[in-house]
Amino acid sequence: MEWSIEKIRLDLKYTWKISRNSSAYKENLILTCKKDSTIGIGEIAPNVRYQETPENILAHFTDMVNELNQLPFSDREVNHFIQNQAIPNALKFGLNAAFTNAYCQDTKQSLHSYLGIPKPKQVASCYTLPIMEMQELMPFYKEYELHRFKQIKIKVNDASGIELVKEVLALGAQEIMIDANEAWKNVEELIRFTESIQKLPVLFVEQPMPASFIAEYKHLKKHSKLPIMADESVLAEPNFDEIEQQFHGVNMKLMKAGSYQNGIRILQEAKRRNMICMIGCMIETTMGIKSAWDLCSLADYADLDGCLIVANEPFHNLYEQDGYFYEKG
């Protein structure tokens, strides 16, 4: 095999602002795994929340590329090697995706038959609003024609939640998902927040407090008037006995799971426990988003809009129409 990596800059259509940071562009990385004339590609979307940067991704790859190139072209040996490296989960997934892409081509099988899961035909996605001023909501909603999405996800902080939910509901008859990105620090205030919006068409509240607030989440689950979803609390090896006591559902992201296989395992374990399953994404090109799309037969909800924010999307592996994502023919 011959492995290579390159950094790409993704310019965003607008400033992406959540409770902990904002950005006007994103730097992702594209991994290539080549065997003879077969080429597999995978995407890496580093997340600073987990101390991942393009620079440390590149450094880790440089340290291991010679060993990667010397491995036999075997799915068992390559994936075993990847998963046993002390490297960021996003890099693990990029390696796994690039190899899997090449391996399926070489063995002349589809990704879905290789993974043993059904292939979706179309996938409905929510659209996520960044944090913005109230007066900006209506112009933003109209400019990006957000009426076409069945669900709108709102990025909120503990100060703006109630007013923002009501303002968005006034724009269209859509279901609302609330994503706080760990903004709340007071569990009782959070319980009162869920009480204040329980009669509104809100599906769930996603990761409202820091992942370290384990006792607070257990208390919240018992008293919240709305389902609570885990995001930052679910990494590559979630303790489901603990997660189940804190949350009603999980948002699985492949960049955190570290491989297709582990992402599937997380979703199946959550389903086994009758938890809500969602597949999410970072800001990614359609290379990375297609990887998430491929697993959506296993989920109740999908948040795949990370590629729609990108102004210079290079791959076009999916297209969106009326709020649904389809595979490019």
Digitized pLDDT (tens) for each residue of the chain, 329 residues in all: 999 999 999 999 999 988 777 899 999 999 999 999 999 999 999 999 999 999 999 999 999 999 999 999 999 999 999 999 999 999 999 999 999 999 999 999 999 999 999 999 999 999 999 888 899 999 999 999 999 999 999 988 766 678 889 999 999 889 999 998 899 999 999 999 999 999 999 999 999 999 999 999 999 999 999 999 999 999 999 999 999 999 999 999 999 999 999 999 999 999 999 999 999 999 999 999 999 999 999 999 999 999 999 999 999 999 999 999 999 97
Q: Which of 275, 278, 318, 320 is nearest to 296 (CA)?
A: 278
Q: Give tens-digit pLDDT for 124-138.
A: 999 999 888 899 999
State phi, psi for 7 to the nearest 5 degrees. -90, 140
pLDDT of residue 155: 87
pLDDT of residue 95: 98
Asked if residue 267 lies in contact with residue 295, where contact means CB atoms within 8 angstroms, the answer is yes
Q: Give tens-digit pLDDT for 137-165.
A: 999 999 999 999 999 999 887 666 788 89
Asked if residue 321 lies in contact with residue 327, where contact means CB atoms within 8 angstroms, the answer is no
pLDDT of residue 132: 87
Number of H helices, E strands in the chain: 12, 14
Sorted by sequence, the CB contacts under 8 Å of residue 104 that are 6+ apart come out as: 110, 111, 114
Asked if residue 313 lies in contact with residue 13, where contact means CB atoms within 8 angstroms, the answer is no
pLDDT of residue 21: 79
* Start-end of CATH 3.20.20.120 domains in the chain: 115-327
Please give the model's pTM, rounded to 2 decimal places: 0.96
Q: How many CB atoms lie within 10 A of CB 107?
A: 12
pLDDT of residue 258: 98
Cα(83)–Cα(235) distance, rounded to whole angstroms? 14
pLDDT of residue 162: 84
What CATH number is given for 2-108 in this structure? 3.30.390.10
Report how far apart, in Å, the C-alpha atoms of 106 and of each of 2, 82, 100, 110 are. 14, 20, 10, 10
pLDDT of residue 153: 97
pLDDT of residue 242: 98
Amino acid in position 255: M
Asked if residue 229 lies in contact with residue 204, where contact means CB atoms within 8 angstroms, the answer is yes
Q: Which fold has domain 115-327?
A: TIM Barrel (3.20.20)
